Structure 1
Amino acid sequence: MLRAFGELTVPSRLLVVNQFGVNLGFYLVLPFLATYMGDLGYAAATIGLVLALRNLSQQGLFLIGGSAADRIGCRPVIILGCAVRIVAFGLFVVVDSLPGLIAAAVLTGLAGAFFNPAVRAYLMHEAGDRRAEVFSVFNVFGNAGALLGPLLGAALLAVDFRLVAAVAAAVFTLLTVAQLFALPARPVEPQERGLIGSWGEVVGNRRFLLFALGGAGYFSLFNQLYLAFPVEAQRVTGVAGAVSAVFVVSTVVGIAAQVRITAWCRAHWSEGRSMAVGLVLMGAGFVPIGIAAPFVATAPPGQWTADGLLAVTPVLLGTVVFAVGQAMTNPFSLSLLPTVGSTRLAGTYYGWFYLVSAIVVAVTTPAVGALFDRFGDGPGRWLPFAVLLGIGLAGGAVIAWMQRTGRLAPRPVTAP
């Protein structure tokens, strides 16, 4: 891991360290938002809607952030995104009404829509032919922040959720200031086409659109770290701290195994096959939960018990499988994106990729939440987890077909 980090360029090192801070601040709040809203009396479908709106505002507006990064440069867009997230988490400190929570969630997503595609476009240009390896290190640092965030958040949550949000806002304040002084600017590549012309190029790229549909399965499943996993973990144990256990398990797997998994896949499989298998594994992570869920009733609120530990075991086992699939899928999806798109419009292609994913997530996340509400403790509790398995299988099948038919291979660059 240290060797891989040492091989990065100086700006890449700065951005992967920055990603640690970004995830630290983000995961201070988001893992506990569903629980907080539940304590306020909101139904699971409403919570799913708020989470989907956050995701839609982020991934749906990645197109704007990515296009801006291509035209005005990555650095100012990254800084703007961090500044907006200060405002977003500040709102969580002062509001608890549904409109206020929606506004805070949407601003949280909007901030990510600015800095996420800009950071990835910056790293893509810096990485050259080692994109998967660079994004692998990037994920490790992100996972480290995602590990510490829920742990610190759980400790602060014992005081108040508003304190959690205030600390997250302070973290992003520090990040914004640091990037203003330390992040070097990259030259902006001239764009031969206008904004609409660039978007038209993307929309006309059929293999990219197919890839985006397959890759959308990753985000539909990843979003369940904020809904299905925490809801089920707390349901079967009656302990809010079970939410932290899910995030600790998933991030420890990412930190400990991400670079090794990427290296193994690189040595043995193609990028497309690695991504396809990863999507299937992410879906398979819901199998043990779906099998056990109909037989485990909702536990009353309380402390950890032996029965609670036994009941949460399928959730944690599924989390491990899910995390391994995530570690396989993410670096190679980001590495393949410029191949099915272009390096010249890297930010724009990232934006469209996340827009397609956001539309899919906006449908699947409230639907899964509604299934949880509908079936409760009944025998049909397995159904939402079966749907999530199907999403993983479908996404993996699309990417596997593209790999077999040569649609993930680089193609000659032609003049625009």
Structure 2
Amino acid sequence: MSAATATPPRGRSRPSTWSRTSATGRALLTTVLTTGVTTFMFLPLLALHLSATGTPVGRVGLLIGLLSLCGQGFSVLSGHLVDRVGARTTTTAGFACRIVGYLLISAGGAALVPGIAAVGIGGSLLVLSVKTRLVIEAAAHDDTRGMLALRSTFGNVGVVLGPVLGAVAYPLGFDAILAAAVLSHLGLGFHLTFLAKDEAAQAPADLAFAPAAPERKPDPGHTATAPGRRGPAVLFLAAVAYWALYSQLNAVIPLTARALTGTTVAITVVFTLNGALVLLFQYTLLRRFLGHLPPRTLLTAGFAAFAVAYLVLLPQAGWLSLLLFTVPATLAEMLIGPSLDELAVTTAPPRRTGRALGLLGLAGAIGSPLGAGLGTHLLQSLHGGPAVWLTVTTAAALAAAACLLLPRPAR
């Protein structure tokens, strides 16, 4: 741990990640929030809009799939662009691509397919470039874990607010939602392209425990590891496993929640509780209470939490099983996502951060449809019995054990 991040004297506390972040870093975090809001204003209503314009149901499904494919499937190339042309330039390209995409969707007709593809590709460019710029800034303060947790919190605010604002704005017309997305992207894109400067924030001058020239040493929250030969492969497989397990929340859990409670409102309760827990506790948990633990340990604990979550569904005890499932499942989400990012960043070769993060995006593109397909197949073939959850629990436990194959953090 560096002297600048050592335990402060009594009465002092380590400054928050937000307070140590530069004006540009705060603009980047605002971008995470705003793009999250506009994406989830637009995404849940896209199928309704397409159906209302006479698009056949089969084509609607293909267009929604195209959006996901372009968003996650393009991530490796996005990461390559971040490393080759720079994160700042890639951010500008992401904003431009998304603005063009929203305008094409508004035009409709033959412009619909390229418009949806442009929105997906633009989202991939923005996610990876903004994350890379935030990580670079946080590295100056040995606060990579805090920044990744804060970024995740801002993103989840957008996930929670977006559908609500979209439902409020939808009576004004789908074009009003697209216009809000275009205007917000224009404003943020202009600021980050022409006004913002990429520079690390300085620690507040009044921190008596911060010396003038601190010695830079690895921080437990930003642990340097020796990836070896197996490290990247195990990390990639862990990311695939994470998205396969997480995809059950969208594919299998909604059907299970209805079966357990007899109401379709149950899944809304699950997602609301999940979002509230992430917003309230993720940043504090990762930065303050678990900041001394290496990401390898957090990753293992996260998959173990997933195993507990799915094991709780075995008794099929109605609302009780469903609510008890939500807590460890949310804990798994809070631990695994940022830990995968942290390991990818801290083990990546020099100037390969974008590609390392891009590979995690590719893992999501593989794991999400794979997990959803296998989960629904199990649910159908095993008729929703305990064997479904025993199988998923075993998969999560095996993933936790596999994480122990990751290289130990260097001391």
Q: TM-score when scaled to structure 1? A: 0.72
Aligned residue among 322, 337, 357 for 2:344 = 337
RMSD: 4.0
Is the Cα contact below 8 Å between 1:339 and 1:408 reproduced in 2?
no
Runs (5+) with no aligned partner, structure 1: 188-202, 296-310, 412-416
SS at match of 1:3: coil
Task: After TM superposition, give the deviation of residue 337 of structure 1 in Å.
Answer: 1.2
Aligned to 1:257: 281
Letter in 2 for 1:366: G
Aligned residue among 116, 130, 145 for 2:127 = 116
1:92-114 Cα deviation digits (max 9, x unpaired): 667699x96x7666544322321
Q: Which moved more, 1:167-176 or 1:243-252?
A: 167-176
Task: After TM superposition, give the deviation of residue 364 of structure 1 in Å.
Answer: 2.4
Is the Cα contact below 8 Å between 2:235 and 2:340 reproduced in 1?
no
Runs (5+) with no aligned partner, structure 2: 1-13, 201-226
State the alpha-carbon separation in 2 of the partners of residues 243 and 384 from structure 1. 18
Is the Cα contact below 8 Å between 2:95 and 2:122 reproduced in 1?
yes
Which of 1 and 2 has greater Rg?
A: 2
Greater fraction helix? 1
Aligned to 2:10: none
State the alpha-carbon separation in 2 of the partners of residues 382 and 166 from structure 1. 47
Letter in 1 for 2:237: L
1:157-193 Cα deviation digits (max 9, x unpaired): 6787776566555544444344334443579xxxxxx
Is the Cα contact below 8 Å between 2:246 and 2:368 reproduced in 1?
no
Task: After TM superposition, give the deviation of residue 284 of structure 1 in Å.
Answer: 3.7
Is the Cα contact below 8 Å between 1:93 and 1:163 reproduced in 2?
no
Aligned residue among 64, 68, 76 for 2:89 = 76
Aligned residue among 263, 266, 270 for 2:291 = 266
1:50-97 Cα deviation digits (max 9, x unpaired): 766544433332111111111111112122223333454556667699
Is the Cα contact below 8 Å between 2:306 and 2:329 reproduced in 1?
yes
Aligned to 2:150: 137
Aligned positions, number: 365
Is 1:18 aligned to residue 31 of structure 2?
Answer: yes
State the alpha-carbon separation in 2 of the partners of residues 363 and 137 from structure 1. 29
Aligned to 1:198: none
Is the Cα contact below 8 Å between 1:85 and 1:107 reproduced in 2?
yes
Letter in 2 for 1:121: T
State the alpha-carbon separation in 2 of the partners of residues 233 and 166 from structure 1. 36
Is the Cα contact below 8 Å between 2:17 and 2:143 reproduced in 1?
no
SS at match of 2:17: helix
SS at match of 1:5: coil
Residues 20-59 of structure 1: pairs in structure 2 closer than 5 A? 20-31=33-44, 54-59=67-72
Task: After TM superposition, give the deviation of residue 385 of structure 1 in Å.
Answer: 4.9
Aligned to 2:217: none
Aligned to 1:197: none
State the alpha-carbon separation in 1 of the partners of residues 105 and 329 from structure 2. 29
State the alpha-carbon separation in 1 of the partners of residues 266 and 109 from structure 2. 23
State the alpha-carbon separation in 2 of the partners of residues 95 and 218 from structure 1. 36
State the alpha-carbon separation in 1 of the partners of residues 116 and 246 from structure 2. 17
State the alpha-carbon separation in 2 of the partners of residues 83 and 19 from structure 1. 16
Task: After TM superposition, give the deviation of residue 259 of structure 1 in Å.
Answer: 1.7
State the alpha-carbon separation in 2 of the partners of residues 137 and 96 from structure 1. 40
Is 1:65 aligned to residue 65 of structure 2?
Answer: no
Letter in 2 for 1:398: A
Letter in 2 for 1:148: L
Is the Cα contact below 8 Å between 1:146 and 1:247 reproduced in 2?
no
Letter in 1 for 2:409: A
SS at match of 1:138: helix
Aligned to 2:221: none
Distance 1:156 1:392, change over 3 A: farther
Letter in 2 for 1:396: A
Task: After TM superposition, give the deviation of residue 20 of structure 1 in Å.
Answer: 0.8
1:254-302 Cα deviation digits (max 9, x unpaired): 11101221022223x332111111123235434445653xx8xxxxxxx
State the alpha-carbon separation in 2 of the partners of residues 210 and 60 from structure 1. 20
Is 1:125 aligned to residue 136 of structure 2?
Answer: yes
State the alpha-carbon separation in 1 of the partners of residues 103 and 254 from structure 2. 24
Aligned to 1:398: 402
Aligned residue among 233, 251, 273 for 1:209 = 233
Distance 1:110 1:261, change over 3 A: same
Q: TM-score when scaled to structure 2? A: 0.72
State the alpha-carbon separation in 2 of the partners of residues 355 and 118 from structure 1. 15
Task: After TM superposition, give the deviation of residue 344 of structure 1 in Å.
Answer: 2.2
Is the Cα contact below 8 Å between 1:4 and 1:137 reproduced in 2?
yes
Is the Cα contact below 8 Å between 1:288 and 1:314 reproduced in 2?
yes
Distance 1:226 1:152, change over 3 A: farther
Distance 1:159 1:367, change over 3 A: farther
Residues 381-392 of structure 1: pairs in structure 2 closer than 5 A? 385-392=389-396
Task: After TM superposition, give the deviation of residue 208 of structure 1 in Å.
Answer: 0.9
Is the Cα contact below 8 Å between 2:91 and 2:125 reproduced in 1?
yes
Distance 1:140 1:387, change over 3 A: same
Is the Cα contact below 8 Å between 2:243 and 2:363 reproduced in 1?
no
State the alpha-carbon separation in 2 of the partners of residues 182 and 251 from structure 1. 33
Is the Cα contact below 8 Å between 2:243 and 2:371 reproduced in 1?
no
Letter in 2 for 1:140: T
State the alpha-carbon separation in 2 of the partners of residues 167 and 291 from structure 1. 46
Distance 1:228 1:37, change over 3 A: farther
Q: Which moved more, 1:168-177 or 1:19-28?
A: 168-177
State the alpha-carbon separation in 1 of the partners of residues 22 and 276 from structure 2. 26
Aligned residue among 379, 384, 398 for 1:380 = 384
State the alpha-carbon separation in 1 of the partners of residues 45 and 390 from structure 2. 25
Letter in 2 for 1:409: P
Letter in 1 for 2:290: C
State the alpha-carbon separation in 2 of the partners of residues 312 and 89 from structure 1. 40
Letter in 1 for 2:90: V
Q: Percent identity?
A: 21
